[in-house]
Amino acid sequence: MLRFHALAAAALISFAGGVPALAQTPSSSADEPNVKNGKYIYYAGGCASCHAAPASGTCDDLKIKDELIPVGGRCLKSDFGTFYVPNITPDKQTGIGGWSSEDFIKAMTKGISPKGENYYPAFPYASYQKMQRGDLLDLWAFLQTIAPVSSTVPGHDLSFPYNIRAGLRLWKSLYLDGKGFVPDPSQSEQVNRGAYLTEGPGHCGECHTPRTSLGGMIAAKKLSGAPNPAGKGFTPNITPDKTGIGSWSAKDISYALQSGFTPEGDVMGGEMAKVQQNMAQLTQEDRDAIAAYLKSIPPVENARPKKK
């Protein structure tokens, strides 16, 4: 998944023996948010991977300072320009401290700010719209437990015409269907749990699915690999095709998510290194569920392009 290289090995060796998983607890009711589950969803969604400050101060540094201080500042460079990731601590001036829980849910599922502005889909609300309301409320409650930190994050630096937010209405009409996650009655509870985690909070398709020229995911090629949206390289095919992970067993997939090591003996690197570290925080049952889901989806042929 994503890029594998030996340089990440030292950073991931400590995960090979296993990381104690966060205890998963049932999601909340509207009246009683479950902070413990909110922290679990924070890791399942990889929130720190984008929102924690880069360790070096360089905006595209993949290493982060503190995963539990999502103060923003990382940048995502794309063909459309550079997106800067915002502060999501409860700071009232520079973070989300002035938001309500309903503001948060609207942002996560509809891509709309408290001021009514459309967010760019570099914020993966097209996937987050599938999250359960209880999980979103729990995540919101957990974010409120984080100390507020003031920070200054630059505005997005996008080329014309992508810098015109009005165009996002068209994008949403094409690629935001407003549908939550619906379990497949023909699949097991385990597979449906894996589907929810993969398609919702995990938002795996955002990197692993090819996109149209307008940046929308191509549903027919879901999870079959795509050019790396955050830079050079190719995000690999994770469908059970021979050009993807068809030779991996469900146990191989689950172990790779827990340890960072692939069946071929490679190590997960690049952006996937941090994703894997987040997955290592989940329960074994949930990693097994993700693996079961990935083995259940239709194989899609899409070989990694050969290096020139």
What's the alpha-carbon Rg for the chain, to the nearest Å? 18
> Can you tell me which residue has the tokens 């996109």?
211
Q: What are the b/e assignments for 52-90, b being 16+ CB within 10 Å?
A: bbbeeeebeebebeebebbbbbbbbebebbbbbbbbbbb
Q: Copy the structure tokens of residue 128.
A: 């987050």
**pLDDT score recorded for residue 273:** 87
**pLDDT score recorded for residue 29:** 52
pLDDT tens-digit series, residues 38-86: 999 999 999 998 999 988 888 888 888 888 899 998 888 888 889 999 9
**pLDDT score recorded for residue 305:** 85
**pLDDT score recorded for residue 202:** 96
**pLDDT score recorded for residue 2:** 32
Amino acid at 117: E
**297 vs 240: CA distance, rounded Å:** 7
Among 182, 243, 231, 191, residue whose Cα is nearest residue 207: 231
Cβ atoms within 10 A of the Cβ of 135, count?
A: 23
Burial of 267 (0-12, 13-18, 19+ CB in 10 A): buried
Low-confidence ranges of the chain (pLDDT < 70): 1-31, 230-231, 308
**186 vs 181: CA distance, rounded Å:** 15
| Element of type H or E holding 235 | strand 234-235
**pLDDT score recorded for residue 161:** 84
For the entire predicted model, the pTM comes to: 0.88
**pLDDT score recorded for residue 57:** 81
> Can you tell me which residue has the tokens 């079959």?
224
Cβ neighbors of 300 (< 8 A, separation 6 or more) are: 220, 221, 222, 223, 224, 237, 239, 241, 244
Asked whether 64 and 55 are in contact (CB, 8 A), the reply is yes
**pLDDT score recorded for residue 9:** 30
